[in-house]
Amino acid sequence: MDNLIEIKNVSFSFDAEGEKRDIIKNLNLNIERSSFTVILGHNGSGKSTLAKLMNGLYKPTNADGSVLVDGIDTKDETSEIEIRRKVGMVFQNPDNQLVASIVEDDVAFGPENLGLTPEKSRERVDEALKAVGMYEFRKSTPHHLSGGQKQRIAIAGIIAMRPECLILDEPTAMLDPKGRAEVMSIITRFNRENGMTIVLITHFMEEAELADRVVLLSDGEIISDGTPKEIFSDIKTLKSTGLDVPQTTELLYQLKKNGIDIDTDAISVKETAARISAALHLEES
Amino acid sequence: MASIIEVKNLSYTYDGDAQIVKDAIHDISFSIEKGEIVGIIGHTGSGKSTLIQHLNGLLKPASGEVLLNGKNIWDDPKNIKDIRFKVGLVFQYPEYQLFEETVFADIAFGPKNMGLTGDELKNRVESICDTVGIKREYFDKSPFDLSGGEKRRVAIAGVMAMKPEVLILDEPIAGLDPKGRHEVSAMVKNYREKFGATVIIVSHNMEDMASLADKLIVLSGGKLVMYDTAYNVFSKGDMLSEIGLSVPVVTKVLKLINEKNNDIRTDIFTLKDAVEYLCALSAGGKNA
C-alpha cells in the first residue's frame, strides 16, 4: 500500500496544573494516498490534536512515536516547510483563517510565501479560485461573503499551494445547509477528480457517508476503523462513545427494533427510502 | 394569551458601509407568546443575528419598535440594562467568553451584576445548576478544565442564572457532538418548563428545530418570509430549498418514497413520528 501519512506509536500529552493529560495514546494509523478518510469522535476525543500531528503543527511527545509524511519525519525541523506544503489544513472558523482584505490577495498569501514568481502565483490563485467556484468574487472583500463562501476562499488559499493532502477540521460546523453542501461537494471533487488525499474531521454523520473509510476516535484511541457502512451498522459502539448514527440509519434501526424485517445498512436518503420501500412492499423509486 | 415579545415594522441597516446589505433587516413584524419555543431559521446573512440583537436592546431599531410585555424597550433608554436582564442572550460559542477561575464564579457573574449577594446569590446559582444538571462537584473546577460540551453548558447556565423571562440562544448546539447536542437541548427544555420562560433559538439544524420548536420564523434576505408552526413551515419544503434551507432528513426519505407511492405521508418531520407512522403502516392499512 502507498501510504502518504504514517502514524506510528504516537502519544501526545501535556501538563495541566501539574497533572499529565494524555490526549493521544499510543496510536497507529496509516492514511493511504488518494483516499478519503473521515475521523469521527466526541468533543475532547483528540480529533483536532491528531489532525495537527498529521502536518507537524504538533509533534509526538513520546520518544519512540513518529509521524511520517511522504516518508519525512515531522520531528525533522528542516523539513517543516516541505511537510506543510504537502499537507494543507483548513479549520472550523473561516473568519480566523482569512488575512487579507481582498479575496485574491488572501488566496495569494500561501503561494507568495512559497517563493513563487508573481506570474506563477497569479496562475495558482486563479486556478484555485476557479476550483472552488469563487473566481468571480476575486475582487470582493472576504467579510462581505457568506460563511460557505468564506470557507471556500480559505480552502482555495490552501489549494493554491497544491498540497497532496487536505486535512479539514470541522470545516462545516459554522455553515448553513447550503454552505455545508458547497464545501462538501468541493472536497469530494478534489478527491475523486484530482486524487487529492482527504482527511475530514467532523461531527456530521451524514458527511461521513461520502468517505472511503471512517476512523472512530475515543479518548485518544482508535476504537473502530472501517467503511462508513461497517461503522454505522455498529450502533452500540457509536452510542457508547457519545456519537449518533445518521438519522437515516437510526430510522431503519428503530423500525427493525419495532419488529419490521428491514436491512439497516443504508446511510443516504436514497438507500434508506429503498430499504423502507422494500420492507413495506412499496414501489421503489 | 398575551404576547411577551412584539416586533413591529422593524428595520435596520448597518450604516457607514453601504456594501453590508446582507445582514440588514426590513419591515419585520411578529409576536411571540409567553412560554413558547420559537426557532429562527435562515441562510447565513439572512439577518438572524441582527434580529435577535434587537430583542434585548443591543441594537436600536432604525425604524419600528420592539415591545416587551407591551412596553417599548426604548421608552426609557436608561433602563435598557434591565431589559438585558429580562431578555437573556446567549451568543454563538459562548464558552469562548468564560473567564472566571471557577465554574461557580462564572455562573454567578450575571446574577452578581444584578445585585445579588451572599446566600441569595448562592441559592440562585445552585437552583439553576440543579435545573440544568450541572453537578455541585463542578463548582470549584476551572471552566478551562471542562470538555467542550460542559463548557458550553456552563456558559449557558451563566445567562440562565439571571432568570431571564425570554432566553435567546444563537446556534446553541453548533460544533457540539451528538451527546452535547442532546444535553444542551434538554437543558433548554428544562429551563422553559421550570420557569415558564419563553425561548428563542437560532439554528441551522432542521432536525433539532423539528423536535424542539413550537413555531418557526423563517428569514430570507432580511425579510420575514414565514412565521408559522414548525409543522406548517416544514410542509413547504420547496419554498425552504429555494432560500437555501431544507426539511429534516426523515421528511426527505418519505418524500422520495412518496414519488412512487402517492399515498405515503410527507408531513412528518421528527424521527419519533416517522417511526410511529411507518410501524403503523407496516402493521396494516396505508391510511394508518
In chain A, CATH 3.40.50.300 covers: 3-228
Report whether pLDDT(B23) > 80. Answer: no
Mean pLDDT of A4-9: 97
Predicted local confidence at residue B4, as pLDDT: 96
Mean pLDDT of A205-234: 91
- CB of A207 within 8 Å of a chain B CB? The answer is no
Q: pTM of whole model > 0.90?
A: no
Q: What angle is formed at CA B240 by the lines to CA B234 and CA B245, rounded to 5 degrees?
A: 105
Question: Chain A residue with minimal CA distance to B256?
Answer: A273
Report whether pLDDT(A17) > 70. Answer: no
The ipTM value here is 0.80
The predicted-structure confidence for A232-263, as pLDDT tens digits, reads as follows: 888 888 888 888 788 898 999 999 999 999 98
Cβ–Cβ below 8 Å for A43 and B145: no
- CB of A264 within 8 Å of a chain B CB? The answer is no
Among candidate residues B5, B63, B50, the one with its CA nearest the CA of residue B222: B50
Cβ–Cβ below 8 Å for B45 and A146: yes
Question: Chain B residue with minimal CA distance to A281?
Answer: B282
Predicted local confidence at residue B135, as pLDDT: 92
The predicted-structure confidence for A92-123, as pLDDT tens digits, reads as follows: 887 888 888 899 999 998 888 888 888 999 99
CA atoms within 13 A on the CB side of A184: 21
Mean pLDDT of A86-90: 93
- CB of A114 within 8 Å of a chain B CB? The answer is no
Predicted local confidence at residue B18, as pLDDT: 47
Cβ–Cβ below 8 Å for B204 and A175: yes
Task: pLDDT band for A147, please (50, 70, 90 cuts).
Answer: confident
Cβ–Cβ below 8 Å for B244 and A251: no
Question: Which of B19, B177, B206, B241 is the best residue to mutate to test the A interface, defined by the most A CB atoms within 10 Å of its own CB?
Answer: B177
Predicted local confidence at residue B13, as pLDDT: 85
Mean pLDDT of A205-230: 92
Task: pLDDT band for B108, please (50, 70, 90 cuts).
Answer: very high
Predicted local confidence at residue B285, as pLDDT: 56
Question: Which of B256, B259, B260, B266 is the best residue to mutate to test the A interface, defined by the most A CB atoms within 10 Å of its own CB?
Answer: B256
Distance from CA of B73 to the nearest CA of A (A): 31
Cβ–Cβ below 8 Å for A283 and B260: yes
Report whether pLDDT(B17) > 60. Answer: no
- Of the spans A39-48, A79-88, A260-269, B190-199, which averages the highest pLDDT? B190-199
Predicted local confidence at residue A97, as pLDDT: 80
Cα(A175)–Cα(A161) distance, integer angstroms: 24
Task: pLDDT band for A51, please (50, 70, 90 cuts).
Answer: very high
Mean pLDDT of A259-268: 89
Mean pLDDT of B48-61: 93
Mean pLDDT of B129-156: 90
- CB of A285 within 8 Å of a chain B CB? The answer is yes
CATH of domain A3-228: 3.40.50.300
Higher pLDDT residue, A244 or B151?
Answer: B151
Set of chain A residues whose Cβ sits within 8 Å of the Cβ of B271:
247, 250-251, 254
Q: Within the 104-163 window of chain B, which residues sit less than 8 Å (CB to CB) from chain A?
A: 142, 145, 147-149
Mean pLDDT of B166-193: 90
**In this complex, how many residue pairs, one in chain A and one in chain B, have their CB atoms less than 8 Å apart?**
126
The predicted-structure confidence for B80-103, as pLDDT tens digits, reads as follows: 999 999 999 999 888 888 888 999
The residue ranges of every structural domain in chain B are: 3-98+146-238, 248-288
CATH of domain B3-98+146-238: 3.40.50.300
Mean pLDDT of B114-142: 93
Task: pLDDT band for B286, please (50, 70, 90 cuts).
Answer: very low
Query: How high is the mean pLDDT of chain A?
Result: 90
Set of chain A residues whose Cβ sits within 8 Å of the Cβ of B178:
42, 203, 205, 242-244
- CB of B248 within 8 Å of a chain A CB? The answer is yes
- CB of A220 within 8 Å of a chain B CB? The answer is no
The three three-digit cell numbers of residue A19, written as one number? 497533572
Q: Give me the DSSP letters along B242-262.
A: HTT----HHHHHHHHHHHH-T
